[in-house]
């Protein structure tokens, strides 16, 4: 049986926004292979909180493969193996939602949650989060790096098998009375693309009003607030910032951040407008080129 640990990092609150995956394969009593990949999520919308956790920026994944391409080489092992994940409901949810969103059939999955395993085998009043359990077991890793988290998850499962006297990780569920979870696969369900609104619906919503200009409030290096707006120019739409550099017509760091989808310093709660912004800028570039 193939046994592998998996961990995902996501760009925002959506389960189908995976931006990184890490995996670690177990054979016998040791880890024999590790892999990690960056993933371009379907929406280039990164929440500041997520960026603070994993440090992945839109610019890091803009040229990376989408979910289906990034995961293609791993799906055979995932579909026929025993998957380990710490707080598995999250990671399995990301896997299923992202496959469905990419139009890929979700295979049958069998998995174990090392968070639940830890609560049974390594209970502690301080909690059984990945970092806490790893620290108690002396497992050294870089938390919130997908590849490192998958490695720590696998090491926790191996340690639990040794502690429980199980003949390997595959025998651990019976040894501690924790059944594996099985979920049926299924064909992908067509779903609307977030933010995609037909022209007819949009016209009905705004019958007599021009769309509001795009504006973003950004935090400066000293905490000042600056307004970045999209302006129509003879050469096409351009972003203009109220900071000193922007007043002189320069592309400041606030403008450059928005152009790559970096919302780390975005204060206004309109990160979803970045997709519209990028479409308008791309349309302007095509118009200028023609």
Angle at 289 between CA 285 and CA 290, to 5 degrees: 120
What are the tokens at 160?
A: 């639990």
pTM score of the predicted model: 0.68
Measured CA to CA, the distance from residue 115 to residue 51 in angstroms comes to 24
Strand, coil or helix: what is 103? Answer: coil
Give yes or no for a contact between 112 and 83, defined as CB atoms under 8 angstroms apart. yes
Looking at 125-189, list the stretches that DSSP marks H as alpha helix, in order from N- to C-terminal side: 130-137, 146-164, 172-176
In the prediction, which pLDDT does 201 show? 43
Q: What is the pLDDT of residue 223?
A: 83
How far CA 122 is from CA of 108, 159, 251, in Å, comes to 29, 10, 53
- pLDDT tens for each residue of the chain, 290 residues long: 899 999 999 999 999 999 999 999 999 999 999 999 999 999 999 998 899 999 999 999 999 999 999 999 999 999 999 999 999 999 999 999 999 999 999 999 999 999 999 999 999 999 999 999 999 999 999 999 999 999 999 999 999 999 999 999 999 999 999 999 998 877 654 444 444 444 444 444 444 444 567 899 998 888 889 999 988 877 778 889 999 888 877 889 898 888 877 777 888 878 778 878 888 877 766 665 55
């Amino acid at each position: 049986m193939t046994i592998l640990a998996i961990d995902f990092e996501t760009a925002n609150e959506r389960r189908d926004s995976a931006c990184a995956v890490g995996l670690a394969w177990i054979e016998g009593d040791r880890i024999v292979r590790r892999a990690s990949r960056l993933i371009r999520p379907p929406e280039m919308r990164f929440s500041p909180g997520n960026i603070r956790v994993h440090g992945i920026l839109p610019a890091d994944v803009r040229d990376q493969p989408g979910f289906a391409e990034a995961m293609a080489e791993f799906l055979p092992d995932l579909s026929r193996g025993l998957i380990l994940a710490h707080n598995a409901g999250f990671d399995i949810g990301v896997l299923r939602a992202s496959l469905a969103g990419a139009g890929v059939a979700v295979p049958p999955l069998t998995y174990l949650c090392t968070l639940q395993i830890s609560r049974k085998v390594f209970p502690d009043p301080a909690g059984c989060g990945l970092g806490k359990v790893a620290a108690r077991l002396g497992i050294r890793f870089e938390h919130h790096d997908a590849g490192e988290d998958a490695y720590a998850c696998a090491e926790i499962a191996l340690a639990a098998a040794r502690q429980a006297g199980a003949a390997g990780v595959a025998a651990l569920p019976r040894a501690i009375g924790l059944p594996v979870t099985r979920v049926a696969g299924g064909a992908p369900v067509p779903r609307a693309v977030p933010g995609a609104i037909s022209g007819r619906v949009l016209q009905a919503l705004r019958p007599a009003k021009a769309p509001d200009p795009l504006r973003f409030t950004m935090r400066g290096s000293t905490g000042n607030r600056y307004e970045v707006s999209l302006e129509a120019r003879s050469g096409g739409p351009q972003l203009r910032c109220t900071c000193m550099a922007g007043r002189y017509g320069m592309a400041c760091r606030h403008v450059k951040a928005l152009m790559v989808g970096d919302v780390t310093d975005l204060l206004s709660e309109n990160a979803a407008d970045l997709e519209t912004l990028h479409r308008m800028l791309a349309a302007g570039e095509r118009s200028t080129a023609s």
